[in-house]
Amino acid sequence: MRGDATIRPATPDDGEAIAQIHVDAWRATYAGIIPDTYLVSMNAGQQRQIWRQTLRGSGRRYPVFVAELVDGEIVGFANCGPARRRMLPRRSPYDGEVYTLYVAPDHQGQGHGSRLLDACFGTLRSQDKTAAVLWVLAANPARFFYEAQGGRKVAERIEKFAGAELEELAFGWDLTA
C-alpha cells in the first residue's frame, strides 16, 4: 500500500517491526551476494533482541528512526551517529555516519528511504557533524539510491563476512551545504 509515512524516533516497542524489516530486507537485497546459509539462519527473534537493546540504550548519540504509516505499520528504519573512524581512510573529513537504512521490500520506491536519510542528516547536523558517510555492499542495488541522493563514492574496501569476501563502497555527503 502506497502512502505517506511519519518519520519519528524509534521506541523499544518498535523492536519487533524493525527486526522483521531487517531480516526481510537482508534476504531480499542480499540473496546471491551474502552466502545463503547466513541469510537462511537469520531470524526476527534474534534481531528483535538486538534492536530492543539498541533502542533502550541509543539515546541522542545513536538515534534510530522509523517510517510509520498512518495505520501504524512500520515500513522502514535508519540509525546514525559518530563515524566509526577505524572504517575510514586516515584524515577523513567524515565525522558522522548512517549505520543502517532499510525499507521493507514492499514499500521501497515510495520516498521512505529518502525521508529516513534526511532525518539522519538532520540529527547529525544537530550534533555538529559536518560530513556523513554510509557503507554499502558494492553489489547492492541501493548504491544507485545513494548516488541519486547526492552521495559520492569516497572509499572502498573488502570486508570478510559469513565466510565471503565482499566489496564495500562508502558514499559521502557534505552536511554543511
The three-point CA angle 62-109-150 to 5° equals 60
Q: Rounded to an integer, what is the distance from CA 23 to the centroid of its chain?
A: 13
Domain membership flag for residue 88: yes
C-beta of residue 76 within 8 angstroms of C-beta of residue 103: yes
Domain membership flag for residue 156: no
**In this structure, is the dihedral angle defined by the CA atoms of residues 149, 154, 157 and 159, taken in order, positive or negative?**
negative
Domain range enclosing 53 = 5-129
Q: How many domains does the chain have?
A: 1
The phi and psi torsions of 117 (rounded to 5 degrees) equal -60, -45
The pLDDT profile of the chain, 177 residues, written as one tens digit per residue, is 446 899 999 998 999 999 999 999 999 999 999 999 999 999 888 888 888 888 887 656 689 999 999 999 999 999 999 998 777 767 788 999 999 999 999 999 999 999 999 999 999 999 999 999 999 999 999 999 999 999 999 999 999 999 999 999 999 999 997
Domain membership flag for residue 89: yes
Residue type, 162: A
Domain membership flag for residue 176: no
- What pLDDT, on a 0 to 100 scale, did the predictor assign at position 16? 93
- C-alpha cell at position 107: 514499500
In angstroms, the CA 158 to CA 14 distance is: 33
**pTM score, two decimals?**
0.92
Domain membership flag for residue 119: yes
Domain membership flag for residue 145: no
The number of residues in the chain equals 177
Domain membership flag for residue 150: no
Domain membership flag for residue 118: yes
In CATH, what number is assigned to the domain containing residue 10?
3.40.630.30
Q: What is the DSSP letter of 31?
A: B
